[in-house]
Amino acid sequence: MGAQPAEDLNGLVVRVDDRLFHGQILYGWAKGWASEVWLANDVVANNQDERSLYEEQMAGVQGGILSIDEAVERYKECGCKVDKCLLIVGSCIDLKRLIDGGAVPGEIHLANLGTGEGKTQIAESVSLSDNDCEIIRDLQDDGFSICLRKLPQSKTKDVVIP
């Protein structure tokens, strides 16, 4: 199916995407690269209607739904040993909670973060608030690799905070 996923893409990839689980994840990542896909989101994990909706959509995909705390527990245990695991969070705030809790992603991808009042657009589908920028800058200072990436075979670009 066209371009192949980058060979150096392994381990735990955390994707920040406010569309949560959607077409790019299903067709691009779950069918194209990942051996596991987890959606870490407190609203989805704790609301039965939302949970059922995503469980139905993720049927047939190895992985499932976690709260942020559950995701922290899971990836504190597994560390960097997991192979080709995609973990989706819906916001930079959730990303910070995940990493502050002790999860250690190999890569962090910013994929879709919609526009809104007071946000600065840094890429086609990524807009960040001042707080988001601060979170990303702190993580970069701590040595985390953060890039813009939509699909496993996409070219990546390092995130540069204005």
Partner 1 sequence: MTVTGALVVTHGKLGEILVQEVEHLVGRQDRFIAMSTLGLSAGAITESVHRLIGDDPYIVFTDTPGTSPTIRSSAAIGERQAVITGVNIGMLISFVMHRENVEFEELAEKMVRDGRRCVEVKWARNQQKI
List contacts with partner 1 (CB under 8 A).
18-23, 26, 49-50, 53-54, 57, 90, 112-115, 125
Nearer to partner 1, 6 or 93 (CB): 93
CA distance 137 to 141: 6
Shortest spacing between CB 24 and partner 1, in angstroms? 8
Shortest distance, CB of residue 13 to partner 1, whole angstroms?
19
Residue 54 or 144: the one with the smaller Cβ distance to partner 1 is 54
Using CA atoms, how far residue 6 sits from 33, 54, 107, 152, in Å, is 10, 28, 13, 6
State which residue, 23 or 143, has the beta carbon closest to partner 1.
Answer: 23
Least distance to partner 1, CB of residue 130, Å = 18
32 or 90: CB nearest partner 1: 90
Token look-up 């992603």 returns 105
Smallest gap from Cβ 82 to partner 1, in A, equals 24
Q: Which one, 25 or 82, has the nearer CB to partner 1?
A: 25
Query: Residues 81, 22, 157, 140: is their CA dihedral positive or negative?
Result: negative
Nearest to residue 21, comparing CAs of 37, 33, 42? 37
Which one, of 158, 20, 12, 8, lies nearest residue 88 by Cα?
A: 20
CB of 160 to partner 1, least distance (A): 21
3 state SS for 67-106: CHHHHHHHHHHHCCCCCCEEEEECCHHHHHHHHHCCCCCC
